[in-house]
Structure 1
Amino acid sequence: MVDWSKKKDCSKALMGLGILLAAGAVGISAYNIWDSSRAEAAVEASLEAYEEELTAAEQESEALPVDENSGMTFVEADGLCWIGELEIPSLQLTLPVADPWSYPSLKKAPCRYTGSAEENSLIIAAHNYKRHFGNIGLLPEGATVKFTAVSGDVYEYEVEKVETLNPYAVDEMLSGDWDLTLFTCTYGGRKRVTVRCGLVG
């Protein structure tokens, strides 16, 4: 004989669980939208602060400091040190690049992971926010990427390869004779989308 009261209790429990899961999904989606908007505002504010500080330094003909680890000239603005500006025209992105990298810094903007533009070994990391590196995996071979250092030197690159690496494949990330590497994580952090670039000219 079927115990209908138990079946009703089970149905109610499953319905309640379904509602909780749906609410959780909505909450996660809302958080992701908010975090993406926050990241966009943060990078815009950082870019503005960086450009203002760089302009002020140029007008005052100040001798800018050089980082002893990277050998790159930098300016301080918005609570961080900045080594230059990255442009990816096909993605309509202009981003300041901070140094050194840290998780709090990555919340604001892309960061130098290692290497330097001067030594043709620069690796830049960023979060997968749309306004950061969220779409770099869409870059075709031959796409232009430009880095303008604080020193005023301009480095123009071409995308040569887009690959996906495991999140802990540090040796693979650092390997190869690439002049510029850009990378970000996939959603959930299971992989690293990695763009390899060669210097033009």
Structure 2
Amino acid sequence: MKNRLSRILSCIGIVLVVCSISLCAYNVYDSFRSYFVSQQKMNEYHVVKTSVGSIPDYVLNPDMDMPEVDVNGMSCIGTLEIPSLDLNLCVTSTFSDDNMKQLPCRYYGSVYKKNMVIVAHNYWFHFGRLNTLKSGDEVIFTDASGNQFKYSVDAMDVVGPESVSEVTNGKWPLTLVTCTLDSQNRIVVRCK
């Protein structure tokens, strides 16, 4: 009886180890898949100049919609560059689970209104290293018209997943959000 119980427990242990390894392998695969998709989208992304005069359109009308570029069937509003993390990624115009599996997404606001929130998965090649940013690190958003907005990291918080109002309060011109590694909370990087 004791031998049989130890064999059953051993089999259960082996199954759990195999499941753990499989889950880890899938997460690594998913992270690399998103990296290759991101690189493909960046290669296909082209700025479309919309401003005619010397004063950019968004200065004359900050309430205007952000221009969008179609990148292989996906609507993007610009690119996000974080030099200290060696990241340069397209940002989709709308948030959805499908979009976020490929690229960071605008969750809320506009760079023109100085209240934009960008969310991405914590993939290594997306926002997985946001927690390593330091105060003063540079963040650059370039809209689809080629207008560049430079920010620096001002503050970093960890909030609960239901803290949407804390993330979209508009006190910072740019906010970056991703999940913690255990997906229980959100890392929020505030940029000014």
Regarding TM over 0.5, the answer is yes
SS in 1 for 2:110: coil
Q: What TM-score results when the alignment is normalised by the length of structure 2?
A: 0.90
In structure 2, stretches of 5+ residues that fail to align are 53-57
In structure 1, stretches of 5+ residues that fail to align are 1-5
Q: How does 1:145-184 map to 2 (within 5 A)?
A: 145-184=139-178
- Alpha-carbon deviations, 1:161-189, whole Å to 9, x = none? 01101011111111251010000011232
SS in 2 for 1:72: coil
Bigger CA radius of gyration: 1
CA distance in 2, matches of 1:70, 1:192: 30
AA aligned to 2:135 is: E
Q: What TM-score results when the alignment is normalised by the length of structure 1?
A: 0.86
Corresponding residue number in structure 2 for 1:190: 184
SS in 1 for 2:88: strand
Corresponding residue number in structure 2 for 1:22: 17
> In 1, are the aligned partners of 2:153 and 2:189 still within 8 Å (CA)?
yes
Deviation (angstroms), 1:139: 0.4
- Which runs of at least 4 in structure 1 moved beyond 6 Å after TM superposition? none
CA distance in 2, matches of 1:81, 1:92: 23
Corresponding residue number in structure 2 for 1:91: 85
> In 2, are the aligned partners of 1:147 and 1:154 still within 8 Å (CA)?
yes
Q: How does 1:1-201 map to 2 (within 5 A)?
A: 6-51=1-46, 54=47, 57=48, 71-198=65-192
Paired residues in the alignment total 181
Corresponding residue number in structure 1 for 2:55: none
